[in-house]
Every structure is written in C-alpha cells, then in structure tokens.
Amino acid sequence: MKHKKSYRYRKIGVIGCMILCIASCSPKKKTEAVKKTLLKGSINKLNKNMTTYADDVSFMESYIDLIQLSNASGDSKVAISAALQGRVMTSSAFGESGRSYGWINKKLFESEEIQEHINVYGGEERFWLGPEGGQYSIFFNKGDEFILDDWFTPRLIDLEPFDVKNKTSNKVILTKEASLKNYGGFQFDLGIEREISILSKENLQKELGLDLLDESIKTVAYQTKNTLTNLGDSDWKKETGLLSIWMLGMYNHSPNTTIMIPYISGEESELGIPVNDTYFGKVPVDRLVVKEGIIYFSGDGQYRSKIGLSPMRAKDVAGSYDSENGVLTILKYNKPKDETDYVNSMWEIQKEPFSGDVINAYNDGEPSPGEKPLGPFYELETSSPAMALKSGESGIHIQLTCHLEGGIDALNPIIKKVFGVTAEDIKKAF
C-alpha cells in the first residue's frame, strides 16, 4: 500500500475560537452550541483514554485516502477506504471528537509491509465473499490441503481497490469487476457494487421500529447495499460451487462488552442446535450463555472463540452492548424468508457444502498460550444466501450498522425493543 506523507498543523487557541463562535450565535443557536460544547467536554472527561474519530482518521490519512460521509449536523461521521474495497474503517456519533468505533490495526499500517496470507487492516465493515473452506472454497487452490500454510485471502477482497462511481456528502457508490476461481476449478466472472449511505435519526427510528429516540442519545447509522452480478456466460450452479456476500466488522473490545444475538426458539429436532460454538474448540460456559431466545457471548478480546447461527435459528439482527461506556451497537440485514442454502466455510471436503451459518461473532485473544493476539478486538458478521445466479443476474445483501451512545435509562427501551431483554440482563449475563 502506497505511503502518504502526513502534514500536521498546530492548533492554536481552540478554546478561544469556541468562545468566539458561541458568542456570535443567535440566542437559540447559542444555547445549542453551549449544550453541545458542555456535552463534548463531559464525554471527553469521562473517556480520557478513548481514541477519537479524529485520532483514527488523522492516523489513517498518513497511509490511505479516506472518503468521509456525514449527516446534516456533522455529528454522524463515517470514514471509508476505496483502496480497501470500499471498507468502512470507522465511524463516530459525535463528530470529530466522538468515540472511534472501528478497530484499526495500526501496527500493520505502520509496518507498510504486505502480508502473505491476509492483510488485516481492521475496519468496522468490510466486503468479503465466501466460502472460505471446502470443495468450493475461494481461499484454497485446487489440490491444496486445508491448512493455514495453504490458506490465502483472494487479493480482490484483501488488497484490490474499488472504483468510486459516485459520491455525495452522505452517500458513496463503489464498483469492481474481477474473476475468481474456486477450489473445484470453476471461474466466476463477477461485478461488485457497494453503496454506502448515512441514515438520519428519523430513518434509523423507522429501521429499528422505534417510536422515538431519546434526545440524549448520540447516534451514527449507515446502510450498505452490496450487489454481486454474474458477468460471465455460464450460470452459477450448486454443482460447480456458489458464492455468498460476507460482511465482517471489527470493533474495539472492552472488559464490559457483551454480544447479544436473538434466535428463533424451537425444538432441536426441528431447527437444530441454537448455536455452533466449535469453530476453535468449544467455548467455555463463562463466555457463552444460551437462554431462551437470546445468546450472550463475551466481546472482551481476551479469549479466541467464534460462534455461528444457522438460517433455521438466526433472526435478522445482532448486536453488542458496552455497559461501561454506554455504547449499543446494532446490526440488521436482509434475511430472505425460507432460504436455507448458505455456503459452508469449514476447512474440509464437506458432506453438506450449503449448510453454513448466517450470523457469526468472533472474540479475539491468544491463539495459543503466550502467543500475541491479532488485535485484540471483537467481530460481528452476516452472510447472504448462496447465490445461484444465471448469466447477467444479480444478488443483493443489505446491512445496517448503528452505534447508539447514551445512559442506561435512555438505551434500555431500545435494547428491550430490538433484543427482548434489558440492559441489566446483559450486564448480569456473565
């Protein structure tokens, strides 16, 4: 990745400028400006060690160009990298001085080195394609063993830039055309379009089914519409393998972060197990709690583990709650009804290559005792169904990501509405 020189300027008299700005406002605007300034000060006072949106943007702009979207007030901000496949790197609910929600791998940026298997730059929503493993994998070459030494992230979803098709202050559209060959030797000629837009507070209320949002809550919400098109002459069929759109988001962990995933209740004989927790060995009971209709999973970044939900169990939402910092994160996606074919990413020749998970969550930690973790961070993921596209056809996967920051009393009604539990339930889960 090409290095960019960083130009930094000394900021002089910031407090003085703020005072002059407030003094020049009309009475109404003055009151709003004073409230905003006081709230900003209280947030920074309470979170002295937090990394701000401005901090992360300034850092990344030393290495990559960023596209920044914002709402009308400038409070909701999203930073996107076209060089990293239109990846949402981070966002803020309180402008430049707000908390940076995306995890950024600063060590990798600073090294300016290209890694052999994967370049984990971080970011809170990245575009990937599946399956990862199996006879239709796009991460292993034909005949290779399903081991780490033979595992390579396709350059298309690791290092290739996407083209900017259109850009406004609150929306950007990026595109890419490419070819991929799977483990079985089938070639996918494909087109990708990724549309990212910021949602207003009113639109967020509608998406979450809320009557209102407490004025004290600060929000940032963005929606991505991800389109995959078959540009080849051949239809994509199960017999030769299918692709899925796979969205992954890396977030900053904390000791008080708990992941919540509602699930469809019912008998295991009909719906299967509520959660698959054997990706990296069975998850300990003090890190995964399954209750009626809800799964709690630790996002503390201290123990490497992963879980997944099948299409029979998954609903259209997942999220996390950082009780110490008052941060509620919600993911919603378009889960088609009665669709059960999802690509299987297990590293093996599979008996059921279309029995994969829809929602995944990952908690980072030491891969083995004494070995450094990748982050740490935690991750939320959603996938589209396997896409059996005829020549010229397209499939779409839409995901909404929102961060809501506020007090427990203000956030609790939202948690109840979306997840069917209380903030206190989440705090007491472990």
Give the residue from 167, 191, 3 showing the smallest Cα distance to 82.
167
pLDDT tops 60 at residue 303: yes
pLDDT tops 90 at residue 323: yes
CA 125 to chain centre: 4
pLDDT tops 70 at residue 29: no
Q: pLDDT band at residue 35, thresholds of 50, 70 and 90?
A: very low
- Per-residue pLDDT tens digits for 155-196: 999 999 999 999 999 999 999 999 999 999 999 999 999 999
| CA torsion, ordered 308, 310, 315, 321, to nearest 10 deg | -10
Residue 218 to residue 187: CA distance in whole angstroms: 46
Stretch (H or E) spanning 128: strand 126-130
Residue 121 to residue 140: CA distance in whole angstroms: 21
Phi, psi of 317 (to 5 degrees): -150, 150
Q: pLDDT band at residue 15, thresholds of 50, 70 and 90?
A: very low
Is this structure's pTM higher than 0.75?
A: yes
Q: pLDDT band at residue 1, thresholds of 50, 70 and 90?
A: low
pLDDT tops 70 at residue 286: yes
* Long-range contacts of the stretch 207-211 (C-beta < 8 A, 24+): 207/332, 207/400, 207/402, 208/330, 208/332, 208/402, 208/414, 208/417, 208/418, 209/417, 209/418, 210/413, 210/414, 210/417
Q: Are the C-beta atoms of residues 205 and 213 closer than 8 Å to each other? A: yes
- Per-residue pLDDT tens digits for 41-72: 444 444 557 999 999 999 999 999 999 999 99
Average pLDDT, whole number, for the chain?
Answer: 91
Q: List strands edge to edge, sheet with 77-81.
A: 67-70, 77-81, 87-92
Stretch (H or E) spanning 106: helix 106-111
- Per-residue pLDDT tens digits for 74-93: 999 999 999 999 999 999 99
Residue 93 to residue 90: CA distance in whole angstroms: 11
Which residue, chain included where needed, has tokens 């009475």? 27
Instruction: Tell me how far CA of residue 398 lies from CA of 16, 144, 195, 362, 382, in angstroms.
Output: 45, 33, 9, 21, 10
